[in-house]
Amino acid sequence: MKPVSFHRVQVTDNFWKPRMETNSKTTLKIQYKHLKETGRIDSLEPEYKKGDREAHHIFWDSDIAKWIESGSYSLHYFPDEELEEQIDDVIDKYARLQLEDGYLNSWYIKVEPEKRWTNLRDNHELYCAGHLMEAAVAYYQVTGKKRFLDIMCRYADHIDSVFGPEEGKKRGYPGHEEIELALVKLYQVTNNERYLNLAKFFIDERGAQPHYYDQEALERGENPERRRPNYEYSQSHLPVREQNVVVGHAVRAMYLYSGMVDVGIETNDPTLLEACSTLWDNLTQKRMYITGGIGASNLNEGFTFDYDFPEETSYCETCASVGLIFWGHRMLQYYGDNKYGDVVERALFNGAISGISLSGDRFFYANPLASLGHRHRSEWFGCACCPPNISRLIASVGGYIYSEADDSAWVHQFIQSSTELNVASQKVHIEQRTNYPWSDKITFFINPERPAKFTLYLRVPSWTRSPFMYINGEMTDVYGLLDKGYVKIERTWSPGDSVELILPMPVERIWATPFARLTNGRIALQRGPIVYCLEEVDNPYTPLSRLSLPRSSKLTATFEEDLLGGVMTIKGLADVMETDDWDANEPYRLRHPIVKPVTIKAIPYYAWDNREPGHMIVWLRETF
């Protein structure tokens, strides 16, 4: 199947459209302000502080590129003349900056022109190039303007002249993956197979021996034997088809695996997909947080070991959850299995959007699962990869809902929207109406141009119990039609047909695996796709770890329209250990603590740290 691009989907959803509007009216404007004030945009001027290392940074181009990409997506839904002029102005700057041979990197043009392509391991030349390519493709898709696309094709042609298996070319590949998936996007809009072949080269060459990063270190006059980096950090420790454990820097890994899927599908190479399938199972079964956050450690911004899930120190970079969504959505197109769509949904509604405030002007770099009240979103970062990354995800969320094939239509995510698919040799209009994730009902209206036989696939999330469905008002068995977690409805469809899918959403207690030493024996609350947390502002019992939830306690969900933009909250009776009878200078004692019943209130995890600062926890002790 092929994913339906964002620009073919109209999003009218009560949950996502307000976020898209905030992204357009607030987030993009704030990003542009910071890009200007920090010198990122000015650094594209030819005479901007040449040679001044303190006035520049090696990956500023990527920050600008992701803002352009996000702005492009947003322009499709919210035309904005000022934003379009700002983007055009930045494109003009890049056009003036580009060298005659096509090379385009502001750091190396201004600061270290003699060191181009000499340190792929540590510096971000190919990474920045990839983000610029993605931005150019997005801007062309929305506006039809080819100037930026032409600029990036010239740059891609230059890169292709430098790297490859041919004699005289460098056999290197990026230390920070990204260009692999970007080159596939460039290929898809230009049909230039050189770009696809280059993406394949970067993936096939990764981890080959002798190790390229050792060779380039020698060429720089360094001794790689004296200080050999851990190549797991950049997933270059082994050829990609031999990798079976997700390791290293989490964002780099997600971009690499996304590129592997793209190249595997475009070149019909199942070995890349098989490797990704193995890596996916390792990640989602042993190294992913309940929120869809990934990467436990701040030391490597990435993975440690199986079942390592610290809470207060959990890293869970926003960019990593965004990358997980990229990868999972690609896996869906090949395998058609709900286990991929379920993880995309988990990250979308939890670990990714927690990275941005409801007001759209503050951001988390890391997304902990517990806080003592000192973790808050920031206005900006010196390393500002996360703000434009979550921005481009929100702006393009329409592109994660539908897929199409010659004889089938697919719905992966439940977001109120409409689109026109190319199925059964005709246009098929599909409209989705829902108040998801708060409501359990999703209604689909199927309108082909004329009656036609094709298959409609609807994802049934693994968290739901006892789903049921009506086709044109007639109840239909869901379980008898399940295929890899999708309801498979094969019939002759006529204009005016409808399907109503009901996904019951009781409040659930989710147990942590006993193999996770930090969370075993504890539970988290979940309703539908939403993971919940407790904040001090609602539960004044710090530290919140004093709370425990009796197994017999009844939990109820209530929609609060005026809270946090409108959310479903969960309330119930819990027990709290008293502190009044405990001497603060007495760390241990023999007497049993006094416990009293209290009412607790949980809110969606994505919405924490939008009110008064205070403690927060996701995992609770359960008592019998």
If one counts every other C-beta atom within 10 angstroms of the C-beta of residue 3, the result is 18
DSSP annotation string for 236-303: -SS-GGG--S--SBHHHHHHHHHHHHHHHHHTT-HHHHHHHHHHHHHHHHHSB-TTS-B--BTTTTB-
**C-alpha closest to that of 120 among 260, 257, 220:** 220
Query: Which regions in the chain score pLDDT beneath 50?
Result: none
Q: Are strands 620-623 and 547-550 parallel, antiparallel or unpaired?
A: parallel
- Give the pair of three-digit tokens for residue 617: 């926890």
* Model confidence pTM above 0.95: yes
Q: In which residue are the tokens 């992913």 written?
A: 288
Q: How far apart are CA 287 and CA 293, in angstroms?
A: 9
Residue type, 40: R
Q: How far apart are CA 10 and CA 583, in angstroms?
A: 60
Question: Is the bond leading into 543 cis (omega within 30 degrees of zero)?
Answer: yes
Residue type, 137: V
Q: How far apart are CA 247 and CA 304, in angstroms?
A: 7
- Please, is 452 exposed, middle or buried when counting C-beta atoms within 10 Å of its C-beta (0-12, 13-18, 19+)? middle
Are residues 93 and 45 in contact, defined by beta-carbon separation less than 8 angstroms? yes
Residue 47 confidence (pLDDT): 84
- Give the pair of three-digit tokens for residue 533: 């947390």
Residue 77 confidence (pLDDT): 96
Which of helix, strand or coil describes residue 592?
Answer: coil
- What amino acid positions are annotated as catalytic residues? 301, 385
Question: For 176-249, where are the alpha helices, taking DSSP H only?
Answer: 179-190, 193-205, 212-219
Distance of CA 504 to the CA centre of its chain: 26
Which of helix, strand or coil describes residue 435?
Answer: coil
Residue 46 confidence (pLDDT): 83
* Phi-psi map region of 49: left, alpha, beta (phi>0 left; psi -120 to 50 alpha): left
Residue 51 confidence (pLDDT): 85
R_g of the chain computed on alpha carbons: 25
First to last CA, the chain: 48
Q: How far apart are CA 462 and CA 532, in angstroms?
A: 18
Helix, strand, coil percent values for the chain (each to nearest 5): 40, 20, 40
Residue 225 confidence (pLDDT): 78
- Give the pair of three-digit tokens for residue 302: 């990435």
Question: Is the bond leading into 174 cis (omega within 30 degrees of zero)?
Answer: no
pLDDT tens-place string over residues 95-128: 999 999 999 999 999 999 999 999 999 999 999 9
Are residues 64 and 35 in contact, defined by beta-carbon separation less than 8 angstroms? yes
What structural domains and CATH numbers belong to the chain? 2-400 (1.50.10.20), 402-502 (2.60.40), 507-623 (no CATH)
